[in-house]
Amino acid sequence: MTQRLLVIFDLDETLVRATDNPTLEPPDFILYGFRVRRRPQLENLLRSVSRFADIGVWSSATDNYVEEMVRKIVPADVSLRFAWARSRCTRRLDTENLEEYWVKDLKKVKKLGYSLERILIVDDSPEKIERHYGNHVRIEPFYGDLEDRVLSRLAAYLERIASVENVRTLEKRGWHHSTDEVRPDISAE
């Protein structure tokens, strides 16, 4: 029997837009001085995915921010397996630009009993998944556009691939353009 899929969602620019820019009008709510807008279809996405997969949230934001954001955006009838923040990320240094960034190492998720073959992470920042590109579903950043329809397409895509035994073998680039049958990436074998 195939293990249940785990889908991990990033927060900022993936599920929500949080900014101190006053031009984001109207915000859905204000959190720690940030004007926050939920990405359109967010609740439908979470409810849909929860039918066929476990759900986690993992952000490189602070623990308090993640806790409060999750409380405000996740519907009461959707259970999360976990909601992790920067304290669960690994700090890295880009030596070329001398800038710090945070990596989400999926080996930490394996400790919860999931195999890497059954984990997907939806994130707009590929550098945060540098150790696990085969698990990454890259999503276009969300900057507050009320006409955005990405999450509806994402829900349908995730449902189509939920039963694939090893999601790491799938070619996920261009997922948002595809309505075809799911095919493994033969170069991954």
Interatomic CA distance for residues 39 and 46, integer angstroms? 12
From the options 3.40.50.1000, 3.30.70.1230, 1.20.1250.20, 3.40.50.1110, give the CATH code of 13-181.
Answer: 3.40.50.1000
pLDDT per residue of the chain (189 residues) written in tens, 0 to 9: 678 999 999 999 999 999 999 888 899 999 999 999 999 999 999 999 999 999 999 999 999 999 999 999 999 999 999 999 999 999 988 888 888 889 999 999 999 999 999 999 999 998 888 889 899 999 999 999 999 999 999 999 999 999 999 999 999 988 987 654 444 443 443
Q: Is the dihedral of CA 11, 16, 17, 22 positive or negative?
A: negative
Q: Quick one: the chain helix, strand, coil %, rounded to 5?
A: 30, 25, 45
> 93, 45 in Cβ contact below 8 A?
no
**For residue 4, what are the CA distances in angstroms to 53, 58, 61?**
6, 18, 27
What's the pTM?
A: 0.91
For tokens 């969602």, name the residue: 9
Strand 29-31 and strand 34-38: the pairing is antiparallel
